[in-house]
Structure 1
């Protein structure tokens, strides 16, 4: 985490320099503001990673003599055969099309999103995967 924190802090400093140079040369407010906001976001992430790195154990990425296999391990549990993300994707696409074509499309997208979200949350509480 230390390395990632330093990378984001250096990135933030680079973006700050570029924001100042861009603002002086272009005198354009929108791009300058966007660059200063990118600086703020980068410095927040860098500070968080550097702050957290002091409180957690050193990871394999912090050891210069570590192998790639040292950082291997379980990343989490992901449903291998879930249809719920497809439902959420279709509902989300309909919702975004509702912004373009008309808000009435939200009446069709909201139930699809709710069914997909409900199904994804409670997927392992019913059927053959139910915990007993």
Structure 2
């Protein structure tokens, strides 16, 4: 986290310099104000990350000899084969097509979306996983 903190602090210094250059060169207050606000936001994030880096253990990105996979964890469980995303995608495509063709197409897309959504959420609550 130390590296991220320093990156944001140096980014805020760069943004402040660019805000000065932009303000003098363009004499436009809206862009200069936006850059000064971006400087403040970047500085707040940088100080937060630098402040919390002192309170947490060293992470893999703080070690120069670390590999990319050192901080990698489990990403989660994904269904190996599921037809529910297809139903959800077709229903979503019909819903977006309803904006262009006519709102009557929503009557066909909403059931497909609901079947896909509920089927995907409750996919593993069938059969042996079902509670009585």
In the superposition, the TM-score normalised over structure 1's length comes to: 0.61
Paired with 1:108 and 1:55, the residues of 2 have a C-alpha distance of 54
TM-aligned CA deviation for residue 53 of structure 1: 5.6
> Is 1:124 equivalent to 2:124 in the alignment?
yes
**2:96: which partner in 1?**
96
TM-aligned CA deviation for residue 54 of structure 1: 6.3
Paired with 2:95 and 2:12, the residues of 1 have a C-alpha distance of 35
In the superposition, the TM-score normalised over structure 2's length comes to: 0.61
* Structure 1 residues 12-69: Cα deviation after superposition (integer angstroms, max 9, x where no partner): 7767848x94xx76x8x9xx6xx87xx59x85xx56x837766654432232221233
**1:107: which partner in 2?**
107
Paired with 1:14 and 1:101, the residues of 2 have a C-alpha distance of 49
**2:76: which partner in 1?**
76
Paired with 1:83 and 1:9, the residues of 2 have a C-alpha distance of 47
Task: Map 1:27-46 onto structure 2 (within 5 A).
Answer: 43=42, 46=45
**1:64: which partner in 2?**
64
Q: Secondary structure at the match of 1:80?
A: coil
TM-aligned CA deviation for residue 79 of structure 1: 1.2
Paired with 2:92 and 2:71, the residues of 1 have a C-alpha distance of 35
5+ long unaligned stretches in structure 2: none
* Structure 1 residues 58-93: Cα deviation after superposition (integer angstroms, max 9, x where no partner): 432232221233123311111111221111111111
How much is the aligned-residue C-alpha RMSD, in angstroms? Answer: 4.2
Paired with 2:79 and 2:105, the residues of 1 have a C-alpha distance of 30
Q: Secondary structure at the match of 1:124?
A: coil
Paired with 1:81 and 1:99, the residues of 2 have a C-alpha distance of 31
